[in-house]
Structure formats: C-alpha cells, structure tokens
C-alpha cells in the first residue's frame, strides 16, 4: 500500500490555501486535505468541519490526552493538531494526503512519516507578506504573525522544497510537479 504525503508549510497569508484549493480541484491528483483541529475562534466565512474542526481548549486537551493527534502545536497562542484517523482513512482509499501545518508540525510529521515531502511556500518579501496580511482583513495579531513568519522563513532550508509565491501560476506549476512526483514515487 502506498502512503504518499505532502506537507505544505509557510507563513500566514503566503497563499497556502490558494495552492491547496487549486490542487484539490484537480481530481486526477487524488488528494485528501486533512481537516485539522484548532482551539482558535472561527473567523468570518469559516466553517466548522471544512476549514478546521473548531473545538474548545478543554476538548482539544482531552483529544490530545487520548492520543488522537499525530502532532499538535501551539501557534499564535492557540492549539492546532493533526488527527490520525483521517490520514489512515485517506491512505486506505489510495489517496495522497496533503496538509497545511506550521513548521513545528511539519518537523514532527517528517519524523513520523519519513516519506512525507515538505514544501515551504515563501513570500517574495516580508513587505509583500505584510500587505497580504493586511488585505486579508482585521488581524489584531499582525505584528505577531509577521514575527512568526520571519522565524519560520529562517527555517525554510530544513524542508525538501522551497517555492517563492510571486506569480501564482508559475509557482503553482512548480508545486504541482512536486505533488505528482511524490504520489508516483511511493
Ligand atoms: P490560521 O490560524 O491562520 O488558520 O493558522 C495558523 C497556522 O497554524 C498556519 O501556519 C497553519 O499552517 C497552522 N496549522 C493548522 N493546522 C495545524 C495542525 O494541525 N498542526 C500544526 N502544527 N499546525 C497547524
């Protein structure tokens, strides 16, 4: 049984969801996007069970104690965790698992699943990232997110691929090739 996995990493607002949405719309890639769990509040437009499974901090802690997660992390002061069951089920269906998690999570996942291919999505500059964060809407934690972004960007070399998300189509093409290869090689 093949167990292909792609981990998409990169700072908040770098464009990870556009890559994911596009890749998921291409059914021949046969991807399964893990819906991770978080204790953060829902943002306008987000849906429970779609963007995340939104749970209370207490519930998250229960799940964590119950060995429900492959990995979990505290990001921007909130809990985030990747559930084991969805990964198992997706592989059982012959799909390639894809997930959008933070750098700490990606490092834990790589330790557990050495075949996982990690792709770091990099903004063209910190200034451009700031603009994208501002455009995305009221984020009281803008400075915190920018600080974390710079810390994450300093770790980019630890991952298998780095893609600069300047021009979307060109960057996506590069990403798609990596996904195809990861799915075929397992
Ligand atoms: P946001 O709050 O902007 O949706 O996400 C904040 C960060 O949490 C993003 O970098 C995202 O990749 C990361 N994240 C989402 N789910 C998980 C998860 O299950 N585990 C880890 N480690 N990080 C996650």
Pocket test for ligand 1, best of 55, 101, 120 (most atoms within 8 A of CB): 101
What is the Å distance from ligand 1's center to 83 Cα?
13
- 65: Cβ–Cβ under 8 A, 6 or more apart, which residues? none
- Return the HEC string of 90-146: HHHCCCEEEEECCHHHHHHHHHHCCCCEEEEEECCCHHHHHHHHHHCCCCCCHHHHH
Q: What is the pTM of this model?
A: 0.91
Ligand 1, atom 23, lies closest to the CA of 101
- Whether the per-residue pLDDT at 2 is higher than 80: the answer is no
Q: Give CA–CA dist 42/45, Å, rounded.
A: 8
Q: Give CA–CA dist 133/112, Å, rounded.
A: 32
- Whether the per-residue pLDDT at 76 is higher than 80: the answer is no
The whole-number pLDDT of residue 101 equals: 92
CATH number for position 57: 3.40.50.300
What is the Å distance from ligand 1's center to 81 Cα?
8
Ligand 1, atom 14, lies closest to the CA of 101
User: Which of residues 41 and 1 earns the better pLDDT score?
Assistant: 41
Task: State if residue 102 touches ligand 1 by the CB under 6 angstroms criterion.
Answer: yes
As a whole number, mean pLDDT of residues 78-100 equals: 96
What is the Å distance from ligand 1's center to 75 Cα?
7
- Whether the per-residue pLDDT at 139 is higher than 70: the answer is no
- Whether the per-residue pLDDT at 135 is higher than 90: the answer is no
User: Which of residues 135 and 67 earns the better pLDDT score?
Assistant: 67
Task: State if residue 64 touches ligand 1 by the CB under 6 angstroms criterion.
Answer: no
- Whether the per-residue pLDDT at 138 is higher than 70: the answer is no
Q: What is the arrangement of strands in the sheet containing 117-122, beginning at the earlier edge strand?
A: 31-33, 96-100, 5-9, 117-122, 161-164
Q: Give CA–CA dist 59/145, Å, rounded.
A: 25
As a whole number, mean pLDDT of residues 140-162 equals: 91
The whole-number pLDDT of residue 186 equals: 62
User: Which of residues 5 and 134 earns the better pLDDT score?
Assistant: 5
Task: State if residue 15 touches ligand 1 by the CB under 6 angstroms criterion.
Answer: no
| Residue 163 CB neighbours (<10 A) | 22
Tell me the three state secondary structure of residue 54: strand
As a whole number, mean pLDDT of residues 85-107 equals: 95
Task: State if residue 36 touches ligand 1 by the CB under 6 angstroms criterion.
Answer: yes
Ligand 1, atom 2, lies closest to the CA of 40
What share of the chain has pLDDT > 70, as a percent? Answer: 97
* Number of domains into which the chain is organized: 1
What is the Å distance from ligand 1's center to 72 Cα?
9
The whole-number pLDDT of residue 8 equals: 97
pLDDT in tens, 16-69: 999 999 999 999 999 999 999 999 999 999 999 999 999 999 999 999 999 999
Domain that holds residue 38: 5-184
Confidence of residue 168 (pLDDT cuts 50, 70, 90): very high
């Amino acid at each position: 049984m093949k167990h292909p996995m792609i981990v998409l990493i990169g700072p908040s607002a770098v464009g990870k969801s556009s890559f994911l949405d596009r890749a998921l719309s291409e059914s021949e890639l046969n991807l399964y996007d893990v819906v991770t769990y978080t204790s953060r509040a829902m943002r306008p437009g987000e849906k429970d069970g779609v963007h995340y499974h939104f749970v209370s901090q207490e519930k998250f802690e229960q799940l964590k104690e119950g060995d429900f997660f492959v990995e979990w992390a505290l990001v921007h002061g909130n809990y985030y965790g990747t559930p084991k069951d969805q990964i198992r089920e997706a592989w059982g269906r012959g799909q390639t698992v894809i997930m959008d998690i933070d750098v700490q999570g990606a490092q834990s996942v790589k330790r557990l699943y050495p075949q996982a291919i990690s792709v770091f999505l990099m903004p063209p500059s910190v200034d451009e990232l700031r603009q994208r964060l501002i455009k995305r809407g009221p984020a009281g934690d803008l400075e915190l997110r920018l600080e974390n972004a710079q810390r994450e960007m300093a770790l980019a070399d630890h991952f298998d691929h780095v893609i600069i998300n300047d021009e979307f189509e060109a960057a996506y093409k590069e990403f798609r090739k990596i996904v195809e290869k990861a799915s075929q090689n397992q």
